[in-house]
Amino acid sequence: MFTERRWPVRALALVFLTLVTCSAWGQARPTTIELTKLPKFCYGQAQVPNATGAEFNIPASCGPGMNHYCSGLTHLIRAKASGGKGRVQAELGLAENDIRYTEEWIRNLPSCPLRDHVAASRAEVNGLRSIYGGKNAGQK
């Protein structure tokens, strides 16, 4: 029943769900210039026109948790292009979160051909963290 007492709680819940949904849709949407720096396997996820072949998609053997990896790479690109230390740290934090999520998903998927790519991205984030600082510098 929709009572007057519950209305504010339901309205807040609706606002929260809307924000979460919008945030997920806006997950590091790459610019055209950033797309040129991303690997081809991210093009399908980024909905690049005419990118329809297997080389434009993440291999199915990597599992559904790879959906955050291209977003993480986009944040890594932004971190390297950012001017201020605070902005670099913020982008590195976002990249690190997406890469950590991906690592968790592929941990038990030895057939994923992108495992080395993910490990190299982790090393790059850790290296930049050690240069620019941050609470997770050098940690996995």
| Domain residue spans of the chain | 29-132
Q: What pLDDT was estimated at residue 28?
A: 74
| Residues 62-104: tens digit of each pLDDT | 999 899 999 999 999 999 998 788 899 999 999 999 999 999 9
CA distance 40 to 56: 5
Measuring CA to CA, which residue among 45, 61, 136 is closest to residue 105?
A: 61
In tens, the pLDDT along 120-135 reads 999 999 999 998 876 5
This prediction has a pTM of: 0.76
C-alpha torsion sign, points 74, 76, 79, 85: positive
According to the model, what pLDDT value does residue 83 have?
A: 78
Tell me, what DSSP letter sits at residue 57? S
Distance of CA 45 to the CA centre of its chain: 12
- Residue 91: the pLDDT is 95
Mean pLDDT of the chain: 82
pLDDT, position 135: 59
Residue 23: predicted pLDDT: 39
Range in 22-36, 49-63, 64-78 with the lowest mean pLDDT: 22-36
User: How many CA atoms lie within 13 Å of 49's alpha carbon, on the beta-carbon side?
Assistant: 1
| pLDDT at residue 106 tops 80 | yes
Give me the mean pLDDT over the 24-49 stretch: 86
